[in-house]
Amino acid sequence: MSHPIDTSGGPEPMPAAPDNLAAFVTGLLAENLHPEPQAWLRFLQSGVDTLSDPHYQRFAINRAWRVIFAKLNQRERIDTIDVRYCLVDKEGSIQDWKKLFETGVLPFILEHQLPGSL
């Protein structure tokens, strides 16, 4: 007994879900035992995490962290220029941005427990 073989390739694969970069950042903070991993979200424009364009998400997330770093600089006179240079808006892939955030931005956030009471 033979069975017909489907050679049509089946249904079209679903497109990959867009990266939720806000969840990525919050997850990094939680994984690294930040005391308030979601506190930074109050600086993020609402709805960014639902946007399908990861490049806009990256821009908005960078903007939120720049505001946080500027507040730290104003209040504590801590130099934040090097960490702000790691918040690249346009150059490189999203994977590059994730790696740079993890290696260049996350340690500073954890060191200063940001955003804290800013």
CA-based nearest residue to 84, from 98, 99, 102, 63: 63
pLDDT of 10 > 80? The answer is no
Instruction: Identify the band that residue 19 occupies on the pLDDT scale cut at 50, 70 and 90.
Output: confident
Read off the pTM: 0.83
CA distance 80 to 85: 9
pLDDT in tens, 20-79: 999 999 999 999 999 999 999 999 999 998 999 999 999 999 999 999 999 999 999 999
Closest Cα to residue 85, out of 98, 66, 59?
Answer: 66
Supply the DSSP symbol for 104: I
| Domain parsing of the chain, residue ranges | 21-112
- Find out whether 37 and 62 touch, Cβ atoms under 8 Å: no
In the predicted model, is pLDDT for residue 17 greater than 80? no
Burial category of 14 from C-beta neighbours within 10 Å (exposed 0-12, middle 13-18, buried 19 and up): exposed
